[in-house]
Amino acid sequence: MLIVLMAQIVLSDDGLAASGETREPDVSIDEIEYVAGWERNRIVLGTTAAGVAGVTAWGVANWDYFSRSPQAKSEGWFGPDTPEGGMDKLGHLYTTYLMSHGFAYLYEHWDFEHREAAFCGCLTSFAIMGYMEFGDSFSDYGFSYEDLVMNGLGAVLGYLLYTRPALAGKVDLRWQIGLQPTQADVLTDYENSKFLVALKLNGFETFRRGALRHVELHAGYYVEGFGEAGEPDYRHPYLGIGVNLTDLLFRQGWPRCATVLRYLQLPYTSLNHDFDL
């Protein structure tokens, strides 16, 4: 699903489709708005239902959904005694954020107004991720309150960065996939992942004309050793400085590649200073 939504983000055009119809309508404006509103609701509900069906099929096949009685538990946040050192929590936030943008682009392609598409995209994303947590409650994973909170935060960030171009020009939320995978499922390969926020200096008027427009500042997090028996566990917040590849590729006429790099960080494109916890 993440791959499909990423493709939708890259391939979608900005703006809404223009209508060439010029004749006067035979029904009232209120009737047109009612029908259009009902049709949009139907589209959102259908899209959400399709996502829920996909999660159900995948969960039953791979995550043992509905194999036991429902359970709920607290998994903690970023402590040393948590299963993934908090990387799973950031994974929930990032996935909901990315899905919210993917669905928002999709709804805009279906002629939703920009803010309406953003709102419906966030609702769809949060609903699907919330249902995933519901499915987890019927498996060995269990329902996690922390995961649900991070899903909500991801949806809110998705809406803010989709509807505020000035903010999106300054800030990106990204996922970095390393080159040394530790398991087949890349989406939960937390030992091979980093999550980061990038502050793009070219988004500030002061830096747009100088050399610093090519620079961005990073604040991120990753872990080592979690889930490996006998290995020490390390949590690494870090600060870094990198090259603004999104702006560089856009200026070189590669807007779709630039869009991808708003969400993905390429390995070895920044200098980082780690802090060990």
For residue 109, the enclosing domain spans 1-7+31-163
Question: Tokens 């954020």 sit at which residue?
Answer: 97
CA distance 89 to 65: 20
Tell whether 89 and 138 lie within a shared domain.
yes
**Which pLDDT belongs to residue 19?**
35
Q: Give the Å distances, CA to CA, from 162 to 67, 156, 157, 207, 223.
A: 38, 10, 8, 23, 29
Contact 275, 238 (CB under 8 A): yes
Nearest to 87 by CA among 98, 75, 74: 75
CA distance 98 to 102: 6
For residue 145, give the 3-state DSSP assignment. helix
Tell whether 37 and 141 lie within a shared domain.
yes
Tell whether 152 and 173 lie within a shared domain.
no
CA distance 32 to 16: 18
Contact 149, 140 (CB under 8 A): no
Question: Tokens 């708005």 sit at which residue?
Answer: 33
State how many domains the chain has. Answer: 2
For residue 82, give the 3-state DSSP assignment. coil
Tell whether 65 and 188 lie within a shared domain.
no
Tell whether 169 and 159 lie within a shared domain.
no
2-11, 88-97, 107-116, 157-166: segment of lowest average pLDDT: 2-11
pTM of the model: 0.85
Say yes or no to pLDDT of 56 above 90. Answer: yes
For range 219-232, the mean pLDDT:
83
Tell whether 150 and 237 lie within a shared domain.
no
